[in-house]
Structure 1
Amino acid sequence: MSGQGIRSWRLDDARQSLVLAARGDALPEVVYWGPPVADEAADLAEAAIQDVTGGMLDEHPPLSISPEAIRSFPGQSGLVLADEAGAPLVPKLLYEAAEESDGALVLHYTDAALGLRYSGRFAIDDVTHVITVSAQISSDAPIRLHWLAAPVIPAPQLSDGMIDVSGRWCGEFQLNRMGWTPGIHMRESRTGRTGHEHFPGLLVLGHGTTNMHGEAWGYQYGWSGGHRMVAEELPDGRRQVQFGHASGTELDAATTCETAPLYLIYSNTGLNGCGVAFQRHLRDRIVSWPDARRPRPVHYNCWEAVYFDHDVRILKEIASKAAEMGAERFVLDDGWFGRRDDDTSSLGDWTVDRRKWPEGLTPLTDHIQTLGMTFGIWFEPEMVNPDSELYRAHPDWVLGPTDQIPGRQQVVLNMALSEVRDYLFDRIAAVLGEYPVDYVKWDHNRVLPMPDAAQTRGTYDLFDRLREAFPAVEFESCASGGGRIDFGILSRTHRVWLSDSNDALERLRIQHDAALFLPAAVTGSHVGPRRCHTSGRVLDIRLRAWIAAQRHMGFEMDPRELTEEEASVLRDVTAWWKANRDWMMRADILRLDSADPSVTAELQIARNGGRFVVFAGKDGTSLQIAPRPLRLTGLDPDARYHVSLRNRSDAVGLSRGIPALKSSPVALSGAYLMAQGLSLPWSFPASIWVLEGERL
């Protein structure tokens, strides 16, 4: 308790301070979030008070961690609920207790008249610097929840704008920059999954912020069932950011409701400061690896080689050639079960198709193991085709009305039903128990007929049961590519399929923007066919291989199509990736500010700063003749670095000059590399340079 009847609490680490203060028994406000300060919380609370003038209330209603309508708050409330009969409830929450421990805080507030209890949770990680917050509301009697925001954090009034994330199938992680304007900017995913369209993240920008410089405030909501984000500027100029489940998705009355965790980070090193914190926190705190010491294996996925046409002889031949290229895990994709000859039937019938596999999967899995590879398999558990034995037996297990619009010839199973989860657990467990499966690609190809938070909780429950029963199995989250990527699903999975696009140029951009939230270790990236199946574009094997090598590397083509030159390139890049994966899969990904808009570049630097790799991809023709210098970041200015061009043999005949890197390595200071940058050789569009650096 500070002076003048002010209650206050704070979370501090070397990166930031977050200070809460409340007058009397009211809910607290976040009165400061930014670089570390040692000021008393009461002083900060006083300093944050704004003036009032004509046409206003006599003081500003508090922008608290759950803004309350009953206190005349003029913007979006943090809690909207009704009693079981639907009559609105307007709570006035008063202080009850606080639980404080090292780096953690739980605040308890009550409305005794309405029988409501609110808890706000806060914790700071002094290694990753991520702040995690969440909220819970409970009631003596069942309530109907329309909206519950995680603890609300004001956005800085000095912010220039924000970046949110939209997307589409084969075009995920599109960054949208916009300024603040009076009123609400809202993004809401109502498809029942995270969604291609509305990734649950937000970056608030300081003045002039770039990838490498300036202030940024990052938000990421860890929920897979659809979210709502509100960024609001009030008439008085104050700003708030709210995150919670998509509104109205708690369909049943309940006595307890809670948000997912909201992850927060302040950066004074540009967008990269947010990205690195999120990368580290996800990889080191949220993903629970079956064996964290195991190197990430090179994948081979057979989908774009054979689709539904499964022939064990051909698949064995493909597996052998994939192993020759360096693959270490073979993933059998869609088409192995029921009578699955296309996407119109058999989802839900999770037994091996004996027409295609008369001896079961054992002939293939035995062959894969003799090649030194492990075996993975595809499921889409939450879905069912109307043309399936399961649907004919249990049409009552389907979520939504009988006349709903199908998607990909399928509908959704009601995962809130325990009998549905039991059936799926038994069928999946039977396959995982019979065959040497160490990896499951878990797909989700249809949006829900309507959003329902119980669906997501049921899916989480099934994941949790399978993880407990098969702790050595890794799981991938795929949803028509990147339709379900968030910190909630990644607390139960180990890899995401970032996009169904294996077009290397599209992947260059998608991977670059996703790095603001995702580390390389969880981000699957595959070398696709010579002619991309989703874009129709034909791209060189060098570009395709190096783009895959930026993340968790794999192949997804028919390796029998490769010429000897292409096979040689792929073997070389794969061997390079294997030699570097131990440090790269724990590296920080730093986006570079390229002076040439046709160049998309990033630097991956080892945690000890001793080595780095730069990927500089070119997706178009430059406006100027010669390449502009590429500034690096994240280096020690006082150290010297040995920098070499790993793929200098890819230089083309039109590159006729003699830039230093084209002929030999250079040794330069970190100060120079970050101030002036590197001059790269001239190159065609749809190409990439790869530079390796080592601290001397």
Structure 2
Amino acid sequence: MPEPSDPSLHGRGPQGTTGPTRRIHLSAAGVSVVLDVTGGRIPAILHWGRELGPVTAADAVNLAAVTTPPVANNAPDIPLRLGILPQNADGWLGTPGVTGSRADGSGFAPRLTCRSVRIDGQELQADFLEVEDGRVTFDLADEAQGLEVGLEVELTAHGLLRTRAQVTNTGSDEYTLASLTPALPVPLDATELLDFAGRWTHERTPQRRAFTTGTHLRENRRGRTGADAAHLLHAGTAGFDFGSGQVWAVHVGFSGNHTHLAERTSGGTQILAGGELLLPGEGRLAAGDTYRGPWLYGSYGNGLDRVARRFHRHLRSRENHVSVDRPVTLNVWEAVYFDHDLERLTDLADRAAALGVERYVLDDGWFGSRRDDTSGLGDWQVSPEVWPDGLGPLIDHVTGLGMQFGLWFEPEMVNIDSEVARAHPEWVMAPSPQLLPVESRYQQVLNLSHPGAFEHVHRQMNALLNEYDIAYIKWDHNRDLIEAADRSTGAAATHAQTLAAYRLMDRLKADHPGLEIESCSSGGARVDLGVLERTDRVWVSDCIDPLERLGMNRWTSQLIPFELMGSHIASGRSHTTGRLHSLSFRAASALMGHLGIEWDLAEASQEELAELRTWIQLYKEQRELLFTGDLVRADCGLDALWLTGVVSADKDRALYVLACAESADVAPGGQLRLPGLDPRTRYRVRPLVLGEAPSNLRWPAWAVNGVDPATDRNYRGRHELPLTEGIELSGAALASTGLSAPLMDPETAVLFEVIALSPGTAPTGTQPTDPGPTDPARA
């Protein structure tokens, strides 16, 4: 039989390029990516999605054929071939992958060609290669314009796709790069988009819309990830939800200005893309200079949960990922604010240790003249006024109780009323020596890209870490970067500031092995995979109201696993919303995360302290499951009821939290389907209630012990009835038929524990058929 014809070899490309054709099939964890370099042209993705199984060289030729579109009227005479860095020279009229120019305007539309292909560092010579996973590097160039581009594409062992590029100016004069935006193709049956909005204390609010012709562009110019960041930009088939529908998603792993975009052209091509947003002049490249963009991550799966799990498994595979024994944390901010007093703070430590708390964090107010927001920021020396004997007495007391000690910093910011700002006004970011940006929280930005400012902050922080037993830093960032310029030149410096912050984190970690850093930024305004390359936790939000946190925790976990999410039990009345909530709702809402407390324990009753102790004990018993298992979510057919669970990798145990978020137009009951279990395994399910039961809770018959609702005329499912030790059903029945849910008041929650009785024969990691719960983001 003759070999199949390769359409890419019939005639020349639009650039007249010729050269070897290379195709690579990467596959891992149920995902296939087929890469194509045709005749030296820019690399393209022929397939990103479900695993294809074994692919031959002939199959790769045919894939190129079946993915080549017809030539439309009034279009270029050669079919469009969309590269990972889309370019105008190929007939692409959407957002280019590389834009820039030289002083005379030339070089605005590079014509890149591929010179070599390497896989895990070894140059590829064969026409076709099939590998399970790995990193492919393409060496690209436009020699006429004096540009070289290194493009990396990697499929991880967990099926997470990521790509990044770097541009080198090989010309003799300056080249100004305007944008570097890799793109990943998605099929036209991805008809809906899901990303996120938000604000301070209300981060990561889902928003959903149709994927229509044009560009859905999310630009972030805050100089940090942003409370209103896109977070993840998803495209999916109609009606996709947590458990069903094909979904493709991208995330830019960068903490400064950035873009996400979804684009559909009238020619019938769709992409998801993203990269750093460079301000004017930030991409200036002198002869020989290189700019490297951040990773653009891509995750594919059947349902949002599988998309999320690829990110979780990637993060958990990091060499220095956190231990599952995440310490229960007390942060004293909402207990004392700026009112630091040794006696009061040691009393809080005593109360915390008695509850089983394992880490104690002293927040803002311990340094310089920092008695309120208006002064002292940037002077990282212990205040002799408040701490005449230094922090030693408190730290010794805390560590003597067996707890770690943590300390708050805001290294990138400064009050104008501070010693450092008075001594070095040139270190403050501003458009000119005569002007300052508008203040936010009475503070300005300290330009860490200035060597003197960087060394000053590093020296002061390092001195404290050397002097004291500090295991943990809460690293805050409380304002957006407005007019963020080098004060001496007026040149934009957001890019340089972001990289300098990364360098400072890296250096402190190198100086102090084992040091943990939390990324806090007015709460959850710096949550991205760039900062998580060097930090160990994020603070999800400054709002600890459990009702608000239900949504914020739920959608933060679309990107990161629970062990990296600071999730604290608040005081009875929320400090940011004024709402009152029961302890059981506050604790249940915080359980799915890295548990902590943000509450003046001196105001808690003995009954509250006893209940709090039981929640802490439950967290310690369950944290290995919480921090190694798979996330599952569902909505039980109502916007009011939210189910969040974790299923162990072997599917032998699970823990679910069912929360009633709001009143509904029907009673918030119905069938509670438990996703994620092995359909062939039998399980025992039992409800858990710790401490005081939620108000007006009404259990269904299966959940209570020794009560027959058909004969007991007094049966009302009362919460004081004894709960069953468990009801037995198969995983298939629990996922498909489900359990009758309790009747619940708004803003209450209950737990369900699931334990396997007889293991099935399903391979580890297989997924049951999911009935496809409705996604609350489908507005």
Q: Normalising TM by the smaller chain, what interval? A: over 0.9
Q: Please list, as runs of the form range in 1=range in 2, the aligned pairs for 1:225-236 lying within 5 A after superposition.
A: 225-236=256-267
Determine the structure 2 residue equivalent to 1:580: 622
Alpha-carbon distance, 1:630 to partner:
1.4
Q: Give yes or no for the alignment of 1:318 onto 2:348.
A: yes
- Assess if the C-alpha contact under 8 Å between 1:632 and 1:674 holds in 2: yes
The alignment partner of 1:267 has SS state of strand
Determine the structure 1 residue equivalent to 2:100: 81
Percent identical pairs in the alignment equals 36
Q: Distance in 2 between matches of 1:648 and 1:365?
A: 33
1:395 to 1:374, Cα distance in 2 relative to 1, 3 A? same
- Assess if the C-alpha contact under 8 Å between 2:249 and 2:272 holds in 1: no
Which amino acid is 1:266 matched to?
A: Y
- Assess if the C-alpha contact under 8 Å between 2:147 and 2:168 holds in 1: yes
- Which of residues 579, 598, 611 is equivalent to 1:569? 611
Q: Please list, as runs of the form range in 1=range in 2, the aligned pairs for 1:261-280 lying within 5 A after superposition.
A: 261-268=295-302, 270-280=303-313
Alpha-carbon distance, 1:273 to partner:
0.5
Q: Give yes or no for the alignment of 1:378 onto 2:393.
A: no
Alpha-carbon distance, 1:252 to partner:
5.2
Q: Give yes or no for the alignment of 1:667 onto 2:686.
A: no
Q: Which runs of 5+ in 2 are unaligned?
A: 10-20, 121-130, 485-493, 705-722, 758-779
Alpha-carbon distance, 1:2 to partner:
9.3
Which amino acid is 2:298 matched to?
A: L
The alignment partner of 1:113 has SS state of helix
Determine the structure 2 residue equivalent to 1:420: 453
Alpha-carbon distance, 1:218 to partner:
2.0
Determine the structure 1 residue equivalent to 2:166: 136
Q: Distance in 2 between matches of 1:294 and 1:183?
A: 44
1:84 to 1:327, Cα distance in 2 relative to 1, 3 A? farther
The alignment partner of 2:650 has SS state of coil
Q: Please list, as runs of the form range in 1=range in 2, the aligned pairs for 1:31-50 lying within 5 A after superposition.
A: 31-37=46-52, 38-39=54-55, 40-50=59-69
Q: Distance in 1 between matches of 2:197 and 2:23?
A: 37
- Assess if the C-alpha contact under 8 Å between 2:520 and 2:526 holds in 1: yes
The alignment partner of 1:89 has SS state of coil
Deviates more, 1:550-559 or 1:586-595: 586-595
Aligned residues: 690
Q: Distance in 2 between matches of 1:480 and 1:84?
A: 40
Which amino acid is 1:277 matched to?
A: R
- Which of residues 388, 412, 435 is equivalent to 2:418? 388
Deviation string for 1:338-377 (max 9, x for gaps)?
Answer: 0111000001100001111110011111111222111000
Deviation string for 1:603-628 (max 9, x for gaps)?
Answer: 11122221110011111123223601
Which amino acid is 1:373 matched to?
A: M
Which amino acid is 1:97 matched to?
A: S
Q: Distance in 2 between matches of 1:615 and 1:114?
A: 58
- Assess if the C-alpha contact under 8 Å between 1:195 and 1:226 holds in 2: no
Q: Give yes or no for the alignment of 1:57 onto 2:76.
A: yes
Determine the structure 2 residue equivalent to 1:26: 41
Q: Give yes or no for the alignment of 1:619 onto 2:653.
A: no
Q: Distance in 2 between matches of 1:656 and 1:348?
A: 54
1:54 to 1:132, Cα distance in 2 relative to 1, 3 A? closer
- Which of residues 481, 488, 495 is equivalent to 1:448? 481
Alpha-carbon distance, 1:448 to partner:
0.8
1:548 to 1:357, Cα distance in 2 relative to 1, 3 A? same
Which amino acid is 2:265 matched to?
A: L
1:658 to 1:650, Cα distance in 2 relative to 1, 3 A? farther
Deviation string for 1:222-258 (max 9, x for gaps)?
Answer: 1111211121111111111211101436625222112
Q: Please list, as runs of the form range in 1=range in 2, the aligned pairs for 1:189-588 lying within 5 A after superposition.
A: 189-248=220-279, 251=282, 253-254=284-285, 255-268=289-302, 270-285=303-318, 288-289=320-321, 292-293=322-323, 295-401=325-431, 402-450=435-483, 452-588=494-630
Alpha-carbon distance, 1:325 to partner:
2.0
- Assess if the C-alpha contact under 8 Å between 1:166 and 1:198 holds in 2: yes
Alpha-carbon distance, 1:449 to partner:
1.7
Q: Distance in 1 between matches of 2:119 and 2:106?
A: 36
Deviation string for 1:190-240 (max 9, x for gaps)?
Answer: 011111111442111123321011211121211111211121111111111
- Assess if the C-alpha contact under 8 Å between 2:42 and 2:85 holds in 1: yes
Q: Distance in 2 between matches of 1:354 and 1:559?
A: 27
Q: Distance in 1 between matches of 2:647 and 2:735?
A: 14
- Assess if the C-alpha contact under 8 Å between 1:80 and 1:147 holds in 2: yes
Determine the structure 2 residue equivalent to 1:167: 198
The alignment partner of 2:417 has SS state of coil
Which amino acid is 1:81 matched to?
A: G
- Assess if the C-alpha contact under 8 Å between 1:661 and 1:680 holds in 2: no
Deviates more, 1:384-393 or 1:227-236: 227-236
- Assess if the C-alpha contact under 8 Å between 1:288 and 1:494 holds in 2: no
Which amino acid is 2:267 matched to?
A: D
Deviation string for 1:424-461 (max 9, x for gaps)?
Answer: 11000111111110000000001112462111111111
1:476 to 1:199, Cα distance in 2 relative to 1, 3 A? farther
Deviates more, 1:637-646 or 1:661-670: 661-670
Alpha-carbon distance, 1:294 to partner:
6.4
CA RMSD of aligned residues (A): 1.8
Deviation string for 1:667-695 (max 9, x for gaps)?
Answer: 11100000011222212111001111111
Alpha-carbon distance, 1:593 to partner:
3.4
1:116 to 1:654, Cα distance in 2 relative to 1, 3 A? closer
1:15 to 1:502, Cα distance in 2 relative to 1, 3 A? same
Deviates more, 1:373-382 or 1:85-94: 85-94
1:91 to 1:405, Cα distance in 2 relative to 1, 3 A? same
Determine the structure 1 residue equivalent to 2:177: 145
Which amino acid is 2:43 matched to?
A: P
Deviation string for 1:28-68 (max 9, x for gaps)?
Answer: 22121111224522211110122233332323332211111
- Which of residues 743, 747, 762 is equivalent to 1:682? 743
Q: Distance in 2 between matches of 1:435 and 1:309?
A: 22
- Assess if the C-alpha contact under 8 Å between 1:61 and 1:73 holds in 2: yes
Deviates more, 1:619-628 or 1:528-537: 619-628
- Assess if the C-alpha contact under 8 Å between 2:635 and 2:641 holds in 1: no
Q: Distance in 1 between matches of 2:693 and 2:742?
A: 7
Q: Distance in 2 between matches of 1:457 and 1:517?
A: 22
Q: Distance in 2 between matches of 1:143 and 1:543?
A: 57
Q: Distance in 2 between matches of 1:18 and 1:2?
A: 22
Q: Give yes or no for the alignment of 1:118 onto 2:179.
A: no
The alignment partner of 1:487 has SS state of coil
- Assess if the C-alpha contact under 8 Å between 1:149 and 1:244 holds in 2: yes
- Assess if the C-alpha contact under 8 Å between 2:660 and 2:668 holds in 1: no
Which amino acid is 1:248 matched to?
A: L
The alignment partner of 2:144 has SS state of coil
Deviation string for 1:506-532 (max 9, x for gaps)?
Answer: 001111111111101100011111111
Deviation string for 1:75-102 (max 9, x for gaps)?
Answer: 1111101125665532111121010245
- Assess if the C-alpha contact under 8 Å between 2:247 and 2:301 holds in 1: yes
Alpha-carbon distance, 1:293 to partner:
4.3
1:649 to 1:623, Cα distance in 2 relative to 1, 3 A? farther
Deviation string for 1:514-554 (max 9, x for gaps)?
Answer: 11111011000111111111001111111111212111000
The alignment partner of 1:96 has SS state of strand
- Assess if the C-alpha contact under 8 Å between 1:20 and 1:31 holds in 2: yes
